[in-house]
C-alpha cells in the first residue's frame, strides 16, 4: 500500500510534570516555527489559564513543525499531540492516541515510571502503537538513568507488550536546554555529544511509521476533538484516514446514532506551529480542522456521499467519581464575596449565572467536547449528578464554571459503584507514594485507616522509600491534605484507576467535626478570639455569614453550633482588662479542592466567582438536631 513519507503523526505521553510541554516548546523553536524576534513564553502549548496556574496539561492539543532533514531533501511535517499526564483526563489521552501512528514515552531520569506512565503506556500498547522512549531531565543531580531504563523495560513486560513494542529506541534528553542524544550521558549531566534535538527528530523519522492509505478508498475522516471560533462557529478537528478532503466539498456526515446527512465544508484549516491557516486540501494522514457543521460531535465520521463508511466510535473508560452540581441555594446567592452584590476587588458588577437553565445549558456544552463526562438527572429539577474520571477533573470543571460567572452548589464527591455477580463493587486506585524514610510509619498508619493494602515497597538507598498501595477511591477523597501534613509537605503521591473490587465497608476519613454558624450576620474579631481555642477557623473578621454556614473545623468529632457574629458589649464602666490586646490566629483559607476534601456527607460547597463557602445541606439548626435525634434513636 502507498505511504505518505512527507508526514509523521506522533503523540507525546508521560506522567504529570515529566516535561512533555517543555519538549514540545523546544521542538517548535528548533524547527524554526517562530521568527527570531518573537517573544516566546514557556509552556506555549498550555494556553488555558488553569493549565498555567496548576502547571499541568488538561486538554490534548496538536501542533505541527516543518522539519528539514539534515541530509537534505523535502521538509517533513511532524504533527505532535501534547497529551495530559493525569489519569483524570484520560479521555483526552485516548482521543490523542486515535490521531497518531506512534508515541514518544517521556520518563523522568530520577522519578522513573509512575502511575500515569503506566496508564498512558497501557493505552498506547492496547492501540498497538510503536513506542520511542525518551529519558528526560538527565541533568537532575539525583538522576539514575540505568535503573529508570530497567524499570521501564519491566513496565513493558508487566503490560504484556509484544516483541516489536519492547524493541524500542531510547533517546536521552534535557528538554529544558533543547538537547537530545542517542548516547547515554553520565547521571546528573546534559548529553555532551549533541547541542540540539537533531537526534530526537531523526529517531522520529526513522521509527514513526508514515501514514498508509489505499488510493482507491473513499473518503474517511475521524472527528477527534472540537473547538470554537467567534467567526467560524464550531470547528471539528479530525484525522483524514482515506481519500481527500477539500474546501467547499460536500461530504456525508455519519452521526453517532448511525444516521447520515450531507453537509458542505465551508472552511478547511491546517495547523502550522500554534496557528491554524486556511488550506485547500487535506490528504490521508493529515490532521486538519473543518468548519460548517454546527452539531458535529466527537467520534463521528465524515465520508464520501457516494459510499459512506463509518469509522469506529472513540471509547473511553467509565467514570469512577460523581458529584451533584446544582444552582446556588444559599441566602447570599447573587451577592458576591462581600455579600454586597459586587465584585469584592473591582467594585464592578459580575455577569452572574444563577438559574437552573443556565447551569444545565453549560453542562450540556461541556458534554460536547468532554467524552469522559456524564450528566444524569436527579430528583431535583435544579441539580444534576455529574460523573467523571476523578476528583481533579470535576474540580477543574467547577473552577472553569465559577470563572465564567456561575454560582453553584456542589455536593461531596462520591464513588460510582457497580453491581457485579449480585454484589456491590467500588472503584479502586493504585497509589504510589514517595516519602522520606522517617515518615514511613505515619504514611502506613494513614493508609491503614483508609483500608489500603500495600503491594510493593522499594528503597533506592537515597533516604527515600517508594510504596505502592491498592486503595478504594473513597479513601483518596480528602487524602492529599492529611498526607502532606503527615509528611511535613515532603511526600509525593500519585494514583491511577485500577479496576473494581467488592465494597470495602465503612471508611472514616475525617475525624473532626465542623463549627457551624447559628445565625446570620458579620464575623467579629471579638467572637473569633473566643472561638479560636475551639478549633481552626476559616473566616476573616468582616465576612458575612448565614445560619448553617461552616466557619471552622471543630477540635472534637461532633459538630458545634457557634455564634461567630457576637459583638463586645460596650459599657461606661472602667475595667482592669479593658485594653488588653487580643491576637487572632490567621484563619485557614481553603481552596476549591481542599473544600471538596473537607466536605462530609451532610455538607456541600457554595461556589461563586469570588468565594468558596462550605455549608450544611440543611441550614436550619433545629431541623438538623431533630434529624440527628431520629438517627440516634434508630
Q: Tell me: the pLDDT tens digits for 550-581?
A: 999 988 888 889 998 888 877 666 655 555 55
Whole-prediction pTM value?
A: 0.75
324 annotated ligand binder: no
**What is the rounded distance in angstroms from the CA atom of residue 310 to the CA atom of residue 299?**
10
Identify the sign of the CA torsion 475, 478, 484, 485: negative
Which residues span the domain enclosing 470? 418-502
19 annotated ligand binder: yes
**Does residue 354 form part of some domain?**
no
Residue 485 sits in a domain whose CATH number is 3.30.70.240
Residue 618 sits in a domain whose CATH number is 2.40.50.250
Residue 183 sits in a domain whose CATH number is 3.40.50.300
Tell me: do 225 and 202 sit in the same domain: no
Res 540 pLDDT > 80: yes
How far lies 32's CA from each of 27, 44, 68, 198, 580, in Å?
Answer: 9, 15, 10, 13, 68
**Does residue 276 form part of some domain?**
yes
Q: Which residues pair with 239 in a beta bridge?
A: 222, 287
| The pairing of beta strand 321-327 with beta strand 408-411 | antiparallel
Residue 99 has what pLDDT?
Answer: 84
255 annotated ligand binder: no
Dmax (CA) for the chain in angstroms is 100
SS3 call for 494: strand
20 annotated ligand binder: yes
74 annotated ligand binder: no
Tell me: do 180 and 79 sit in the same domain: yes
**Does residue 310 form part of some domain?**
no
Q: Which three cell numbers stand for residue 350?
A: 459580575
Helices in 159-267 by DSSP H: which ranges? 163-166, 198-207
Which of these three, 273, 303, 333, is where a domain ends? 303
Which of these three, 207, 228, 253, is where a domain ends? 207
Beta strand spans in 74-204 (E): 76-82, 102-108, 131-136, 170-174, 179-181
**What is the rounded distance in angstroms from the CA atom of residue 84 to the CA atom of residue 68?**
28
Residue 135 has what pLDDT?
Answer: 92
- Per-residue pLDDT, averaged over 516-530, amounts to 89
**Does residue 131 form part of some domain?**
yes
Tell me: do 39 and 187 sit in the same domain: yes
**Does residue 327 form part of some domain?**
no
Percent of the chain with pLDDT over 90: 10
**Does residue 444 form part of some domain?**
yes
Helix, strand, coil distribution of the chain in percent, nearest 5: 25, 30, 45
Mean pLDDT in the chain?
Answer: 82
**What is the rounded distance in angstroms from the CA atom of residue 136 to the CA atom of residue 499?**
30
490 annotated ligand binder: no
Tell me: do 245 and 187 sit in the same domain: no
Tell me: do 288 and 435 sit in the same domain: no
Judged on CB neighbours under 10 Å (0-12, 13-18, 19+), 275 is: exposed
pLDDT tens-digit series, residues 12-58? 888 777 777 788 888 888 876 544 434 445 544 444 555 555 555 55
**What is the rounded distance in angstroms from the CA atom of residue 145 to the CA atom of residue 506?**
43
Tell me: do 44 and 190 sit in the same domain: yes
Judged on CB neighbours under 10 Å (0-12, 13-18, 19+), 257 is: exposed
Q: Please answer whether residues 394 and 386 qualify as being in contact, where contact means their C-beta atoms are separated by less than 8 angstroms.
A: yes
Tell me: do 558 and 451 sit in the same domain: no
Tell me: do 526 and 594 sit in the same domain: yes
Which of these three, 181, 207, 233, is where a domain ends? 207
The tally of domains found in the chain comes to: 4
Residue 95 has what pLDDT?
Answer: 74
Tell me: do 32 and 135 sit in the same domain: yes
Tell me: do 272 and 162 sit in the same domain: no
123 annotated ligand binder: no
**What is the rounded distance in angstroms from the CA atom of residue 379 to the CA atom of residue 15?**
39
**Range among 105-119, 139-153, 339-353, 450-464 rated most confident:** 139-153
pLDDT tens-digit series, residues 187-209? 888 888 888 888 898 999 889 88
66 annotated ligand binder: no
Residue 273 sits in a domain whose CATH number is 2.40.30.10
**Does residue 387 form part of some domain?**
no
Tell me: do 20 and 164 sit in the same domain: yes
b (16+ CB within 10 A) / e for 410-438:
bbbbbbbeeeeeeeeebbbbbbbbbbeee
222 annotated ligand binder: no
Tell me: do 133 and 241 sit in the same domain: no
Sorting pLDDT into bands at 50, 70 and 90, what band is 327? very high
| The pairing of beta strand 131-136 with beta strand 321-327 | unpaired
**Does residue 405 form part of some domain?**
no
Sorting pLDDT into bands at 50, 70 and 90, what band is 325? very high
Nearest to 121 by CA among 178, 170, 67, 160: 160
**What is the rounded distance in angstroms from the CA atom of residue 374 to the CA atom of residue 319?**
8
Res 376 pLDDT > 70: yes
SS3 call for 77: strand
**What is the rounded distance in angstroms from the CA atom of residue 390 to the CA atom of residue 496?**
9
Residue 390 or residue 455, greater confidence: 455
Amino acid at each position: 500500500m502507498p505511504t505518505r513519507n512527507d508526514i509523521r503523526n506522533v503523540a507525546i505521553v508521560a506522567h504529570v510534570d515529566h516535561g512533555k510541554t517543555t519538549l514540545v516548546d523546544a521542538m517548535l523553536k528548533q524547527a524554526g516555527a517562530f521568527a527570531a524576534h518573537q517573544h516566546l513564553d514557556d509552556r506555549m502549548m498550555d494556553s488555558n489559564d488553569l493549565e498555567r496556574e496548576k502547571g499541568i496539561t488538561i486538554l490534548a492539543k496538536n501542533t505541527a513543525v516543518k522539519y528539514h532533514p539534515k541530509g537534505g531533501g523535502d521538509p517533513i511535517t511532524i504533527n505532535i499531540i501534547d497529551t495530559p499526564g493525569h489519569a483524570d483526563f484520560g479521555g483526552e489521552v485516548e482521543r490523542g492516541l486515535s490521531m497518531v501512528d506512534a508515541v514518544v514515552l517521556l520518563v523522568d531520569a530520577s522519578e522513573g515510571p509512575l502511575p500515569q506512565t503506566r496508564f498512558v503506556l497501557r493505552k498506547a500498547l492496547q492501540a498497538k502503537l510503536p513506542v520511542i522512549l525518551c529519558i528526560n531531565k538527565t541533568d537532575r543531580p539525583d538522576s539514575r538513568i540505568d535503573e529508570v531504563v530497567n524499570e521501564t523495560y519491566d513496565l513493558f513486560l508487566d503490560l504484556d507488550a509484544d516483541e516489536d513494542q519492547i524493541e524500542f529506541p531510547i533517546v536521552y534528553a534535557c528538554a529544558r536546554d533543547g538537547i537530545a542524544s542517542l548516547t547515554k550521558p553520565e547521571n546528573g549531566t546534559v548529553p555532551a555529544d549533541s547541542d540540539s534535538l537533531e537526534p530526537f527528530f531523526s529517531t522520529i523519522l526513522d521509527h514513526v511509521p508514515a501514514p498508509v492509505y489505499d488510493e482507491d478508498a473513499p473518503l474517511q475522516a475521524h472527528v477527534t476533538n472540537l473547538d470554537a471560533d467567534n467567526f467560524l462557529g464550531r470547528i471539528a478537528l479530525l484525522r483524514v484516514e482515506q481519500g481527500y478532503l477539500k474546501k467547499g466539498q460536500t461530504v456525508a456526515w455519519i452521526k453517532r446514532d448511525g444516521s447520515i446527512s450531507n453537509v458542505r465544508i465551508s472552511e478547511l484549516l491546517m495547523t502550522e506551529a500554534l496557528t491554524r491557516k486556511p488550506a485547500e486540501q487535506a490528504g490521508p494522514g493529515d490532521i486538519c480542522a473543518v468548519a460548517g457543521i454546527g452539531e458535529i460531535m466527537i467520534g463521528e465520521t465524515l465520508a464520501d456521499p457516494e459510499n459512506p463508511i463509518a469509522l469506529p466510535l472513540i471509547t473511553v473508560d467509565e467514570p469512577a467519581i460523581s458529584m451533584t452540581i446544582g444552582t446556588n441555594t444559599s441566602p447570599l446567592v447573587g451577592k458576591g464575596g462581600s455579600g454586597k452584590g459586587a465584585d469584592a476587588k473591582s467594585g464592578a458588577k459580575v455577569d452572574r449565572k444563577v438559574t437552573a437553565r443556565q447551569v444545565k445549558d453549560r453542562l450540556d456544552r461541556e458534554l460536547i467536547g468532554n467524552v469522559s463526562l456524564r450528566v444524569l438527572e436527579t430528583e431535583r429539577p435544579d441539580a444534576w449528578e455529574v460523573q467523571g474520571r476523578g476528583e481533579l477533573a470535576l474540580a477543574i470543571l467547577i473552577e472553569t464554571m465559577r470563572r465564567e460567572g456561575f454560582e453553584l452548589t456542589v455536593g461531596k464527591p462520591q464513588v460510582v459503584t457497580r453491581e457485579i455477580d449480585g454484589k456491590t463493587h467500588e472503584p479502586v486506585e493504585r497509589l504510589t507514594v514517595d516519602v522520606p524514610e522517617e515518615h514511613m510509619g505515619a504514611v502506613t498508619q494513614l493508609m491503614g485507616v483508609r483500608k489500603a493494602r500495600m503491594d510493593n515497597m522499594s528503597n533506592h538507598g537515597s533516604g527515600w522509600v517508594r510504596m505502592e498501595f491498592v486503595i478504594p477511591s473513597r479513601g483518596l477523597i480528602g487524602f492529599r491534605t492529611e498526607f502532606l501534613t503527615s509528611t511535613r509537605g515532603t511526600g509525593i503521591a500519585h494514583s491511577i484507576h485500577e479496576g473494581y473490587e467488592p465494597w470495602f465497608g465503612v471508611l472514616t476519613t475525617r475525624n473532626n467535626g465542623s463549627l457551624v454558624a447559628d445565625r446570620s450576620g458579620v464575623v467579629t474579631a471579638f467572637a473569633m478570639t473566643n472561638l479560636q481555642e475551639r478549633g481552626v477557623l476559616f473566616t476573616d473578621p468582616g465576612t458575612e455569614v448565614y445560619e448553617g454556614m461552616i466557619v471552622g473545623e471543630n477540635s472534637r468529632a461532633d459538630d458545634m453550633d457557634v455564634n461567630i457574629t457576637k459583638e463586645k458589649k460596650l459599657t461606661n464602666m472602667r475595667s482592669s482588662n479593658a485594653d488588653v490586646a487580643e491576637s487572632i490566629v490567621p484563619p485557614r483559607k481553603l481552596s476549591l479542592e481542599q473544600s471538596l476534601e473537607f466536605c462530609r456527607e451532610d455538607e456541600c460547597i457554595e461556589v461563586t466567582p469570588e468565594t468558596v463557602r462550605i455549608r450544611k445541606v440543611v441550614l436550619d439548626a433545629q431541623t438538623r438536631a431533630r434529624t440527628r435525634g431520629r438517627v440516634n434513636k434508630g
